[in-house]
Amino acid sequence: MKADEVLIAHHDVLRGLLRELAETTDDQTGRREELRDRFLREIEIHAQIEDELFYPAVPDVSPLLALAHAEHRQIDDQVATVMRLDVTDPEFTTEVRMLEKTVRHHTMEEEQRMFPQSHALGEERLEQLGEQLRARKRELEDSGGMRLIVRLKRATLRHA
């Protein structure tokens, strides 16, 4: 898989999780918590593989980078808001939908503006980079470090 294909597949996972989360009802507390935690974990991994491997590899990306980083920060803030809310809070779904909107906007912008620029790297390099992204993603999924970060983040945000 090419680098952009790997990231688009992961965008689909992120968007899917938020869509599912937004569609849950107030009585599905366990499901809400599970989807919220899963999203937190996936978005942490996603931002990390982009920052570490993808963004630095894309040619002429600098004009788009400041915006991408600002959007990652905005997503972070909105995730924090969603993490702090009790899943039965009447505002919960509203906040999830706002987060979903930001994530949609950011991922579409990457897909429409940044990913086409990555095509300048050529097929071979894109495949290679795709493999690196997949390997790093797997590593983070399995890593105790990432699990710890997510757990700490969840605990801090919940009790802040």
Residues in binding contact with Fe ion, number by CB under 5 A: 2
Binding span for Fe ion by CB under 5 A among 55-63, 104-112, 123-131, 135-143:
104-112
Least distance from C-beta 106 to Fe ion, angstroms? 6
Whose Cβ is closer to Fe ion: residue 42's or residue 110's? Answer: 110
The DSSP code for 85 is S
Q: Which tokens sit at 126? A: 């894109």
- What is the separation of C-alpha 60 from the centre of its chain, rounded to a whole number of angstroms? 23
Least distance from C-beta 94 to Fe ion, angstroms? 24
Binding span for Fe ion by CB under 5 A among 27-35, 108-116, 126-134, 139-147:
108-116
Q: Can you tell me the distance from the alpha carbon of 42 to that of 151, in angstroms, rounded to the nearest whole number?
A: 13
Whose Cβ is closer to Fe ion: residue 64's or residue 146's? Answer: 64
Q: DSSP string of 7-38?
A: HHHHHHHHHHHHHHHHH--TT-HHHHHHHHHH
Q: Can you tell me the distance from the alpha carbon of 93 to that of 25, in angstroms, rounded to the nearest whole number?
A: 9
Least distance from C-beta 96 to Fe ion, angstroms? 19
Closest among 78, 92, 80 to 27, alpha carbons compared? 92
The DSSP code for 55 is H
Least distance from C-beta 159 to Fe ion, angstroms? 28
Q: Which residues from 44-103 bind Fe ion, rule CB under 5 A?
A: 50
Q: Which tokens sit at 49? A: 């593989």
Whose Cβ is closer to Fe ion: residue 50's or residue 95's? Answer: 50
Binding span for Fe ion by CB under 5 A among 21-29, 82-90, 107-115, 118-126:
107-115
> Using CB under 5 A as the criterion, which residues of the chain lie in contact with Fe ion when the complex forms?
50, 110
